[in-house]
Structure 1
Amino acid sequence: MSIFDRLRKKSITQFDNAYLTAHRFTDGKGFPPSYIDFATHLGWGRLCGLFLIYVPLGQHPDSWTIRSPCIKQAMDSFYEEMEHDPFLLEPDGYEGIEQSLVPFATSENGEYLVWDLAHRSSDDELPIYVLAARMGGIRYGAPNLYDFVERCENDEAVKSMLGPGYAKLPLIFEPLPLER
């Protein structure tokens, strides 16, 4: 049983399963297994009382297919405008990371959760990084979404991922309605 089975309390929002299984990134592979597990067990909603995890929802405004490209475009424009300032990659980013980041979630405090497509693991997971609010830094989150969620409920780990102003987050999931 995954951590997402424990969070499932209500019926999930209908997601676009065909897109979830058929989509391929530039590396020729699909979504990470932990994200697929999340989408199929939980769907669209708020995770740990803070993160809006975008899943494929067709043409709905909160669909991964709509939000991820929009966020990625803003990220690319920001990093280009800032002329790839190395300060913006601290504390855990590396030169060129911004080019391989794929957003999949946002926090209600302005952080983005992104996958690093350049470092897919042998089990097809993508490492998760946290872009600070206003893209003012990059912190390593976890090797996959399972570990990210588990780290959210650990006081020291959440500070490492999100910054010293955070305390551990509740292990909850709130399905959100698909309103337009």
Structure 2
Amino acid sequence: MEHESRWNVRVARPAAPLLDEQTIERHRLPDGAPLPPSYVSFVRAFGWGRLFGLWLIYTPVPSGFGDGIVGRGGYLTDRLHQEFDEGRADDDTWKIEPDGSWDIAQRLVVFAMSENGDYLAWDTGARDSDDELPIFHTTRFDSLTRVGDDLFEAVEWVRGRNSGRDSDPIDFTPLVPAAL
């Protein structure tokens, strides 16, 4: 795969991703288009696991497993929309700072979360000519910061935020998705 060489990520052990290829090929985001190529490259290369000791990127898991982009990602996306709807109704404009808008908040689809309550989400209303989607970071659904034009850039942004956390040389630890 052409993009896999761009992942500068040290893995704890060789990954054998447990993925649902039908979801990868057939799932459509709210804009009617497929999952972004950088995301597909990431999940095929690494699967489900912990990135930089803190981040979980939801993958297209087979039926019978949790932690998937459709199930868990869908639930978190619904929560994000509810939180931003409430913020808009209360005129809490600080919730969309520094880089967002109420329109962007409604187009976001969550695909990753940290164990500290941070989330990464695609702006499904701004797909580029390479089928990539801009990625926004939000802390507890109380901010919107654009962190990249694709997952390659977002991973580097996350790496920068997590540098110096500890001396662990491993960037990605594969995990087995939870069975339902």
**TM-score normalised over the length of structure 2:** 0.84
Task: Kindly provide the amino acid, as one letter, of the partner of residue 85 in structure 2.
Answer: E
Native 8 Å contact 1:153 1:171 kept in 2: no
**Identity over aligned residues, as a percent?**
36
Gaps spanning 5+ residues in structure 1: where? Answer: 159-165
Native 8 Å contact 1:116 1:127 kept in 2: yes
Name the residue aligned to 1:62.
67
For the structure 1 residues 96 and 85, does the alpha-carbon distance in structure 2 shift closer, same or farther, using more than 3 Å as the test? farther
Native 8 Å contact 1:101 1:116 kept in 2: yes
Name the residue aligned to 1:163.
none
Matched, 1:94 2:93: no
Partners of 1:152 and 1:78 lie apart in 2 by 23
Q: Deviations over 1:114-151 (max 9, x none)?
A: 0001111111110110011x211111111111112223
Question: How far 1:171 sits from its partner (Å)?
Answer: 6.5
Note the 1:146-157 alignment, pairs <5 A: 146-154=152-160
**TM-score normalised over the length of structure 1:** 0.84
Matched, 1:2 2:5: yes
SS in 1 for 2:101: coil
Gaps spanning 5+ residues in structure 2: where? Answer: none
Native 8 Å contact 1:4 1:42 kept in 2: no
Native 8 Å contact 1:47 1:173 kept in 2: yes
Question: How far 1:11 sits from its partner (Å)?
Answer: 2.5
Deviates most, 3-12 or 118-127: 3-12
Question: How far 1:7 sits from its partner (Å)?
Answer: 3.7
Q: CA RMSD in A?
A: 2.0
Greater share of helix: 1
Name the residue aligned to 1:32.
36
Question: How far 1:36 sits from its partner (Å)?
Answer: 0.3
Number of residue pairs matched by the alignment? 169
Matched, 1:80 2:80: no
Name the residue aligned to 1:173.
172
Question: How far 1:99 sits from its partner (Å)?
Answer: 0.8
Partners of 1:69 and 1:138 lie apart in 2 by 19
Bigger relative contact order, structure 1 or 2 (CA pairs below 8 A, ≥6 apart):
2
SS in 1 for 2:102: coil
Which residue of 106, 116, 123 maps to 1:109? 116
